[in-house]
Amino acid sequence: MITITDVCKWYGKPEVLKNINVTIERNQTVVICGPSGSGKSTLLRCINGIEKYQKGEIIVNGISLNDPKTDLYKLRRNIGMVFQHFALYPHMTALQNICIAPIKVLNWSKHKAEKEAMVFLEQVGMGSNAQAHPAELSGGQQQRVAIGRALIMKPQIVLFDEPTSALDPEAIKGILDIMISLAKSGMTIVCVTHEMGFAKEVADNIIFIDKGEIIEQGAYEEFFINTKTDRAKDFLKQIL
Amino acid sequence: MFKAVTNNIVFFINGFTLTLELAILGIIGGIILGALLGLGRISKNKFVYYFVSVYINILRSIPLILVIFWFYFFMPIISGRSFTPFFSATISFIIFESAYFAEIFRSGYQSISKDLVSAALSTGMKHTQIARYILIPIAFKRMLPSLVTQAIITFQDTSLAFVIGLREFVRSASIVDNIEVRSIQIYGFVAIVFFIFCFSGSKIATYFETANKKTGLS
Amino acid sequence: MTFAYHYNWSVLWSQPYITWWMHGIRLTLEIGFFAWIIALSGIFIGTLRSSSSGWLHFLPTAYTEIFRNVPFLVQLFMWYFAFPMIFPDTIRIYINHIIGFNYYIAIIALGLYTASRIAEHMRAGLASIETMEYEAALSTGMTRYQMYRHVIIPHALIIIIPTLTTEFLTIFKNSSVAMTIGVAETTFTSYRIASTTFHGLEATTGAMTIYLLLSLTIVKISGIIESKVRIPGMAGR
């Protein structure tokens, strides 16, 4: 589904990403972890072409991001994204936040978009807050809306960029539950997170990045129990 | 009590009409030029950035009266022909106020977080759509209170066109006062009219600001 | 109609113009400084408005709104032309003979006008301080007066220092309006030279340069002051 080959990225020195090689299969859930500033989020943003990279190749769904003929806008319809600080449009209600993309990008009627959006809002327990503006919602509620905004496009892949690190403990559980059921429903998920409980429950592959390099990757047992490198061991000691 | 005013009311109305015209042209021209200059202030092109910054900082550090004079004396020299005080004053206001509007636009543009653009991109929206549905509405709503405030200031500033003999509201008042010698009534009337307009304007600005606070936009 | 223009920049430095310029600069500086002293009362007016109710709230509010919403030129005319009219003729004759009446009026009018602007900044500064801080001060046993005096007002002042700097720049710019009542400050000087020599372009350009240098000096000095009073963790400019 996603093939990343020898991807390098730099703004100057040092490199932000160094020779990244990752393969993600359909229906897999992949967790990316590592210290802050290691390049995790940058890698995630490269997958939907929001950030550019200088070398290597990323192929999503058989389409190369390098190919100048690739319509990135069209590609992004199939890749949802959820952000650490929610990034909801502050001037729109929760419902409008979810509806704007299907109406403008997929040319749905307003009626259809709102009907669909309400289904998603009900699903994430936000049905009664449809008319609220982001500022009137708690962090956890905002993130639920943001997930709805990504899912209404019926994406094949959802990218999560530290979706719970700006939330309080109660809200974290709610969001993780939504993500877990999403993973179990067969969605392809790439998630930058330090929530190892989530990784244990659903991750097929865990990737550890430090200083722009993949240091280690493997399934849960392999990564946690038989950790090979010292860098990964140090990191795990800090977060567990 | 306001006989000196009511006896000359047509004269006052004409003056006030000219003030309004000057203010409207200054506000519209200032906003258009200011929006462009504001873009220059966030430009990555070093030349554009420095040029625009110097332009704005010079204008912001000299008095408006001087700008009005300068254009009044300068425009005939570069063009080799004379201009009406109204035309000259309008150009001065647009140039001067644009420097103040530009700073409002700059902070409006800078207030939008990069994540918001990424979020819109990730739902497949095109750059033109993002500008139209996300960036411009947010920036405009955020800037609206400051834009209204600056518009009120521009409206007050038009009184300074007095100095090049333009018969706007205050000049009309001073002409009437020279004949009638009723300074308290005449200037009192002018002050009340300005106050009503500007105070209502400032209430509108406050209304927009409160509305923004409610929706988390400020 | 076309005409050739011959530049004559010597209006900036030859006699008698240089004497006029010097006098003009001195008046600009004096009006600005003295008016500033009056204008600082705005800090008190703004605090009173925010901290009181009833008349003590209404009066500073009315003052701020009236002085902010009438153009400074109109205010200046009110003080210069209308204000003496409230006195009986005998006193008015005496007032009209005060030497430098227009100079004093310019200082008072500019000071009171700027005070209303500073009062508004102070109000906004106080409003931006969180309720928690007021509660914290009261919870340590301070009286309301002590809370304002030792905690809230110092904090608000630090918040509004950048806007105070801008106001300080603005007061010198606004002093140019005093030319309309015949005060021979810098802008008046350029106008006077323009009408006696017909070299208005050079004269106004000269005046612009003077204001520009004045601004640069103030920005420089206030930069030093701001860096001295800056507190770590509070946003600078």
C37 interface with B at CB cutoff 8 Å: no
Q: Give φ, ψ of A59 to 5 degrees.
A: -115, 120
pLDDT, residue C1, reads 44
User: Are residues A85 and B125, on separate chains, in Cβ contact within 8 Å?
Assistant: no
Neighbour order of strands in the sheet with A55-60: A17-24, A2-9, A55-60, A63-64
Share of chain B above pLDDT 70, in %: 99
pLDDT in tens, B179-193: 888 888 889 999 999
Q: Give φ, ψ of A58 to 5 degrees.
A: -125, 125
Give all chains having 3 or more CB-to-CB distances under 8 Å with chain A: B
Look up residue C152 and give its DSSP letter. Answer: I
Q: Map residue A92 onto helix, strand or coil.
A: coil
Q: Which two tokens stand for residue A83?
A: 């952000």
Nearest to B217 among A79, A85, A90 (CB): A90
CA A64, A70, A72, A78 torsion-angle sign: negative
User: Are residues C212 and B61, on separate chains, in Cβ contact within 8 Å?
Assistant: yes
C211 interface with B at CB cutoff 8 Å: yes
Which stretches of chain C score pLDDT less than 50? 1, 235-237
Q: Report ipTM for this prediction.
A: 0.87
- Please report residues of A whose CB lies closer than 8 A to that of B124: 73-74, 76-77, 101, 105, 153
How many angstroms separate the CA atoms of C114 and C108, rounded? 10
B82 interface with C at CB cutoff 8 Å: yes
Q: Is there an interface between A and B (3+ Cβ pairs < 8 A)? A: yes
User: Are residues A91 and B129, on separate chains, in Cβ contact within 8 Å?
Assistant: no
Q: Name every residue in A having a CB less than 8 A away from some CB of B.
A: 45, 48, 50, 73-74, 76-77, 79-81, 83, 85, 87-91, 100-101, 104-105, 133-136, 146, 149-150, 153, 159
pLDDT, residue C234, reads 57
Nearest to A91 among B115, B118, B215 (CB): B215
pLDDT in tens, B111-154: 888 888 889 999 889 888 888 888 888 888 889 999 999 999 99
Choosing among B113, B121, B122, which should be mutated to test the A contact, i.e. which has the most A CBs within 10 A?
B122
How many angstroms separate the CA atoms of C16 and C209, rounded? 19
pLDDT, residue C104, reads 93
C216 interface with B at CB cutoff 8 Å: yes
B183 interface with C at CB cutoff 8 Å: yes
Least Cα separation, residue C86 to chain B (angstroms)? 8
User: Are residues A50 and B118, on separate chains, in Cβ contact within 8 Å?
Assistant: yes
For the segment B150-171, the average pLDDT, to the nearest whole number, is: 91
Q: Map residue B201 onto helix, strand or coil.
A: helix
User: Are residues C179 and B65, on separate chains, in Cβ contact within 8 Å?
Assistant: yes
Nearest residue of B to residue C216, measured between CA atoms = B61
pLDDT, residue C45, reads 94
Q: Which residue has the higher pLDDT, C129 or B155?
A: B155
pLDDT in tens, A167-215: 988 899 999 999 999 999 999 999 999 888 898 889 999 999 998 899 9
From the centroid of its chain, how far is CA C134? Answer: 31
The burial of A49, by beta-carbon neighbours within 10 Å (0-12 exposed, 13-18 middle, 19 or more buried), is given as buried
Share of chain A above pLDDT 70, in %: 100
For the segment B14-33, the average pLDDT, to the nearest whole number, is: 94
Nearest residue of C to residue B83, measured between CA atoms = C1
User: Are residues B129 and A104, on separate chains, in Cβ contact within 8 Å?
Assistant: yes
User: Are residues C180 and B162, on separate chains, in Cβ contact within 8 Å?
Assistant: yes
- Please report residues of C whose CB lies closer than 8 A to that of B80: 2-3
**Taking each helix axis from N to C terminus, what angle separates C200-229 and B64-79, rounded to the nearest 10 degrees?**
140
How many angstroms separate the CA atoms of C62 and A144, rounded? 47
User: Are residues B156 and C81, on separate chains, in Cβ contact within 8 Å?
Assistant: no
Which residues sit opposite B84 in a β-bridge?
A: none
Scanning C73-92 for CB atoms below 8 A from B yields: 73-75, 77-78, 81-82, 85-86
pLDDT, residue C232, reads 60
pLDDT, residue A176, reads 93
pLDDT, residue B218, reads 61
pLDDT, residue B1, reads 66
Phi-psi map region of A19: left, alpha, beta (phi>0 left; psi -120 to 50 alpha): left
Q: Which two tokens stand for residue C194?
A: 């323009």
Q: Map residue B215 onto helix, strand or coil.
A: coil
pLDDT, residue B137, reads 85
pLDDT in tens, A54-94: 889 999 988 888 888 888 888 888 899 999 988 888 888 89
CATH number 1.10.1740.10 given to B3-214: no
| Domain boundaries C13-229, corresponding CATH code | 1.10.3720.10
- Please report residues of A whose CB lies closer than 8 A to that of B123: 76-77, 80, 100-101, 105, 149-150, 153
**pTM assigned to the model:** 0.79
User: Are residues B118 and A134, on separate chains, in Cβ contact within 8 Å?
Assistant: no
